[in-house]
Chain A
Amino acid sequence: MDRPNGFKFVGTRPDRPDGMDKVTGRAKFGADATAPGMLHAAIVRSPHAHAKILKIDSTKAEAMKEVKAVVTRADFAEGLTGENWNILENVMAGDKALYDGHAVAAVAATTPLAARDAAKLIAVEYEVLPHVTDVDKAMAEGAPVIREGAADKSVPDGLHANVVRYHESGHGDVEAGFAEADLVVEESFKTEATHQGYIEPHACLGQLGSDGKGELWCCTQGHFIVQKTCAALIGIEASQLRVTASEIGGGFGGKTTVFIEPVALALSRKANRPVKLVMSRSEVFRATGPTSSTSMDVKIGMTRDGTITAGEGVFRLQGGAFPGAPADLTAMCAFAPYALKNVKQTGYDVMSNRPKQAAYRAPGSPMAAFAVESVIDELCKKLDLDPVEVRLKNASKEGTKSSFGPRFDRIGLVETLEAAKAHPHYSAPLEPGQGRGLSCGFWFNHGGETSVSLSLSEDGTVALSVGTPDIGGSRASMCLMVAEELGIPYENVRTTIADTATLGYNDVSHGSRVTYASGLAAIKAARDVVNKLCARAANKWGIDKEAVIWEDGCAKPAGPNAGDFEPLPLARIARTMGRTGGPISGHFEATPEGAGMSFATHIVDAEVDGETGQTKVTRYTVVQDAGKAIHPSYVEGQFQGGAAQGIGWALNEEYIYGEDGRLQNAVFLDYRIPVASDLPMIDTVIVEVPNPGHPYGVRGVGETSICPPLAAIANAVSDAAGVRLTELPMSPPRILDALERQAHG
């Protein structure tokens, strides 16, 4: 950390710069844009889980006078390979529809209603094929093959063709470790797929003219990747497409890829008019990325004093009809919180007839934690040990060789456990019928390609351009960091999300990277500006640049030897910059690697109604290491949001497929995310163990908050119900089942 004198702005809680726009309805989200002559589009989707597409007949639709274009796979690029091919295949089906909701054609018409009517007139002839949606069934002998030859070289011989990636890691000798244990617990777990559930459906407005130049407006976590991918899928140069990110109504990982954007562009190219495409909620559920569903086996050995002697896990994830389920990340996260002599983890990425999974906050880690932390809880119960003490005893620290390989740098797991232990929640008495659960969670965090620019105005304000869409208040954090460096008021910094033609490449807002990486870049760009400001002052005073320092928003002589000059505030230098050498701006571009791994500990109390199987979370506390909280309110917000999503995942949310392979609950009424009356207040404790890889010590906070809840809630529910729950969600029927099994012993 390089601010020994502490912070002036960082750590305060000013109003966010986009607050006014967002409370007045002025903020422009994906679906809020219009263009002259704009058409509206609708997509035709497969009602079958797996089917050959024999014929698409759009004659009747095209006969409607409102219809201006119809596209099918033939209107997209050919010859793609790798992930671009997968994405195209997902965006618009080729020979086969691979899941219920898979897009097969699209139409653009003069009104949204006409587009919907026209979509109904497009006749698709299918030959229905056998399907599979369950992960265990998809890798079992005889399961229908989703795509021959999709597996890569990592997959050992003899596995079903639907197993497309394989991961194995660990160290030591787990069998020897289990032999040293006083108790070994082995358990199998299943989790259903859940959806990110952002309230804003995907929406975009695209224009691709006959000059080959395109404009795209869309809600996305990363407009640069949208630019690259769309250009590839429709067969133009990326440079010919300018993408502007709208305000984004939630993403949580689900808006890190494209679904409808290439379709809007293809329709626009054909109709030669701008095309707006907005998904309905049921399209969001059926055709955008849910998480993987999982099937997992975990075995852990422990001595009577609470030392873990070995841990072993097998993690099977189905990620829909494409490779890419994060089986490797799931396996790598599973035992990360613990310093283990013997550990082994195996991951299987399995294809099935479901939508292509997408990232959802720390992809894979919550499921892995559910399995591992449940087994640790069971061991604690059976050996009569305190769950915090056991975790403290085994906790990973700086220098620990991690379960996935490298040694940890400075990390804050122990600090979160100590803070949880000291929190009044941990020792508060429970009401009858309530149970308490605790869990740790881990996420890697990410740096990623980043570039920002910062320019000074003559009025003494500065404008920062970043390329990472603001998904949870990051503009406020950027403004705070720049204000800190320049020593000017927070209000004098304006942060804008620049489009793809204005700034160099930026990775997506994912991996909890924005406050870390864009923040680091903003700080460095501000330092670049400070250098230039000092040079102007040095020039004016006729002294060496090295003899000028920047302090409290002013250039000052470095010491008595440098001379005796009045401090020059930023605004004064700015006002005259036109005459003293021209505009001043700073920039920074890098791929920072020190994202700083992140840990959390959650404590939950839950109450289970034995009659109905209904669970109520009665108290919730999140303790997480933020490294350094730039704007604590938005850090707390990330903690609370992750916990709430975890509560939904643990108790309610799931993709329900019928025998026919169709998704049965593609509306919010049936896919029930937590509502205000389901939840308690969510208490937060921000732990700050500085990340050595960031000038202020920042660690990303967005994802780790969803890692512990599944396990913490399962542990609380198991405690309250007196029976171990091993399947998510712990919906009332599953709880009643478990109680029944327990009663009949």
Chain B
Amino acid sequence: MSMVHVTATVNDDEVEFLCDPRETLLDVLRDRLGLTGAKEGCGTGDCGACSVTVDGRLVCSCLMLGAEAEGKSIATVEGIADGENLHPLQEKFIEHAALQCGICTPGILVATKALLEKNPDPTETEVRYWLAGNLCRCTGYDKIIRAVMDTASDLRKAS
């Protein structure tokens, strides 16, 4: 099958790649660009482990084709920290022990960062519904929710 040539931006870097038209954006990120932070938990849009943003919108990268990334700006977990400085969400996730195995963490960080950019003052219920598409099997979500609420409150104080 002939390959598609794609130019896009990933975490502010220009990237170019060739991909099979059947490959998902997740396949491209992981297998062609070496960005294995986004995970495949299901491949059917049900677990959120593959969450990235495309032009600022939260998407499951397993549900989008690599070829559709042409001209788009993609952000993954690898781009959340500002150089050496972790994003406050990343710090709070460590501090609150909001991860056990950590396989869901990249997707949940990408998703919650998108939430806080939209809604800096979410209620617990809003956080829970926003994260309803991100499965975590280890934590029971308690510490994740606390980490997000705590980050939101810190960020509000700082701004």
Using a CB–CB cutoff of 8 Å, the interface residues on chain A facing chain B are: 13, 15-16, 18-20, 22-29, 31-32, 111-113, 196-201, 247-252, 278, 280-281, 471-473, 631, 633-634, 636-638, 640-641, 643-645, 667-669, 673-677, 679, 681-682
Contact = CB atoms under 8 A, between A and B. Distances in A.
B44 A111 contact: no
Contacts, number: 181
Interface string B85-104: 01000100111110111111
Nearest to A248: B101
B43 to A, nearest CB: 6
B72 to A, nearest CB: 19
Contact of A667 (B39, B46, B80): B46
A111 B90 contact: no
A13 B98 CA distance: 13
A18 B101 CA distance: 10
A675 B127 CA distance: 12
A698 B101 CA distance: 21
Given A640-B142, A667-B46, A677-B129, 10 more contacts: A23-B94, A25-B106, A31-B36, A200-B103, A249-B102, A250-B138, A644-B140, A669-B46, A675-B133, A677-B125
A198 B39 CA distance: 13
Interface centre among A16, A641, A644 (most CB of B within 10 A): A641
B81 A24 contact: yes
A675 B39 CA distance: 18
Given A24-B80, A25-B37, A676-B131, A667 B100 contact: no
A26 B127 contact: no
Nearest to B99: A22
B78 interface: yes
A24 B87 CA distance: 10
A25 B141 contact: no
B140 A31 contact: no
Interface residues of B, number: 60
A328 B78 CA distance: 47
Interface of B: 20, 22-23, 27, 30-31, 35-44, 46-47, 49, 76-78, 80-81, 86, 90, 93-97, 99-106, 109, 124-125, 127-129, 131-145
Nearest to A635: B97
B10 to A, nearest CB: 12
26 contacts: A19-B93, A19-B99, A22-B102, A23-B93, A23-B99, A29-B39, A31-B30, A32-B30, A196-B137, A198-B103, A199-B41, A199-B101, A281-B43, A281-B46, A472-B138, A637-B97, A641-B137, A641-B138, A644-B139, A667-B46, A669-B46, A675-B132, A676-B134, A679-B128, A681-B124, A681-B145
Contact of B39 (A13, A249, A677, A681): A249
Contact of A201 (B22, B31, B40): B40
B105 A32 contact: no
B101 A668 contact: no
B140 A252 contact: no
Contacts of B128: 676-677, 679
Contact of B41 (A25, A281, A637, A679): A281
Ranked nearest first, the 4 interchain pairs of A and B with the lowest CB-CB distance are A25-B37, A249-B103, A644-B140, A22-B102
Contact of B142 (A249, A280, A682): A682
B110 to A, nearest CB: 9
B91 to A, nearest CB: 8
Nearest to B109: A23
Contacts of A247: 101-102
Contacts of A252: 137
A631 B143 CA distance: 15
